[in-house]
Amino acid sequence: MNNDKVLEIKNLSMTYHTLDGETHALDDISLNINRGEIVVLVGPSGCGKSTLLSIIADLIEPSKGEVLLNNEKLKKSTKDVGYMFQKDNLFEWRTIKQNSLIGLEIQDKVTKEGKEFVEHLLDIYGLGEFKDSYPSQLSGGMRQRVALIRTLATRPNFLLLDEPFSALDYQTRLAISDEIGQILRKEKKTALMVTHDISEAISMADKVVVLSKRPGRIKDIIPIQLTCPDCDRSPMKSREAPEFKDYFNRIWKELDVHV
């Protein structure tokens, strides 16, 4: 893997000002993400994880610091970023194919080639038969896959995923995190994902970033290396790697969940 930086976060701080006062959400965050890396962010509730993703997506302005995407300040390159939320936000009155095309419509890029790419993604990720179905006819896991395809359709090089699986039941969640991890690797995407689930973080990540409680500061950055010869970094099979438990215990301690 070549180590060119896709994302560079430099000394980022964020304070929200509201009528009730100030909330210091993030404090002096610096982080780099290299091309092809999947970085997973964990941290206590309210420590600023979604705030960080919103800043990177250029939805809100930081109070201090800077974010560079492909060596440029945000504004110009934001089309290169795809954002996937906790809720799938599918439109119930649109078919699966129509839902998958929304990103392209918003960017005014619905070309023949774009449509074919969406059809191709739906086919290879097991939704070919459901192109003309409506979201209500799909399982939670399939809906989440549609949300990912919608995000991939605009060919962003960098993906932000904010607790994308937390609305799913445990079984579905295991299966879909496995699938989506594989899709991200197959499509060679660079991604920053937030999760509450330590196992999910270890199994999907090249690097786990642990944030402290609010104001979120970087407490640790843990490169993940699993000995798992024939698992091909399948998130589900990664859990069988001998190092898994040590990573789990380290992150569990750092999250300090009892406090």
Residue (40 or 149) nearer to ligand ADP, CB: 40
Q: Is 47 in the site for ligand ADP (CB under 6 A)?
A: yes
Query: Beta-carbon neighbour count of residue 159 at 10 Å?
Result: 22
Q: Which stretch binds Mg ion (CB under 5 A): 50-58, 107-115, 123-131, 170-178?
A: 50-58
46 binds, among Mg ion, ligand ADP, none (CB under 5 to 8 A by kind): ligand ADP
Task: Find, among 163, 190, 206, 244, the residue nearest to 4 by Cα.
Answer: 190
Beta-bridge partners for 220? 210
Residue written as token pair 């005014």: 108
Q: CB under 5 to 8 A by kind: which of Mg ion, ligand ADP, none does 16 bind? A: ligand ADP
Q: Which stretch binds ligand ADP (CB under 6 A): 48-56, 90-98, 99-107, 246-254?
A: 48-56
Pick the binder of ligand ADP from 48, 103, 114, 181 (CB under 6 A): 48
Q: Is 85 in the site for ligand ADP (CB under 6 A)?
A: no
Residue 255's region, left for phi above 0, alpha for psi from -120 to 50, else beta, is alpha
Give the binding range for Mg ion (CB under 5 A) out of 47-55, 178-186, 224-232, 249-257.
47-55
Smallest gap from Cβ 193 to Mg ion, in A, equals 12
User: Is residue 18 involved in binding ligand ADP (CB under 6 A)?
Assistant: yes
Torsions phi, psi for 60 (to 5 deg): -135, 155
Q: Which residues touch 245 (CB under 8 Å, ≥6 apart)? A: none
The token duo for 232 is 């091909």
Comparing CB distances to Mg ion, the nearer of 87 and 131 is 87
Asked if 214 interacts with ligand ADP (CB under 6 A), we say: yes
Residue 23 in contact with ligand ADP, rule: CB under 6 A? yes
Distance (Å, whole) CA 22 – CA 93: 40
212 secondary structure, DSSP code: P
If one asks whether residue 29 binds ligand ADP (CB under 6 A), the answer comes out as no
Output the smallest distance, CB 15 to ligand ADP, in A.
9
With contacts defined by CB under 5 A, name the span among 31-39, 42-50, 200-208, 223-231 that binds Mg ion.
42-50
Closest separation in Å from C-beta 18 to ligand ADP: 5
DSSP codes joined into one string, 39-89 = EEEE--TTSSHHHHHHHHTTSS--SEEEEEETTEEHHHHGGGEEEE-SS--
Q: Does 50 bind Mg ion (CB under 5 A)?
A: yes
72 DSSP β-pair partners:
69
DSSP letter, residue 128: G
Residue 177 binds ligand ADP (CB under 6 A): no
What separation in angstroms does the CA of 121 have from each of 28, 103, 109, 141? 39, 14, 17, 16
Q: Would you tell me which residues interact with Mg ion (CB under 5 A)? A: 49-50
Q: Would you tell me which residues interact with ligand ADP (CB under 6 A)? A: 16, 18, 23, 25, 43, 45-51, 214
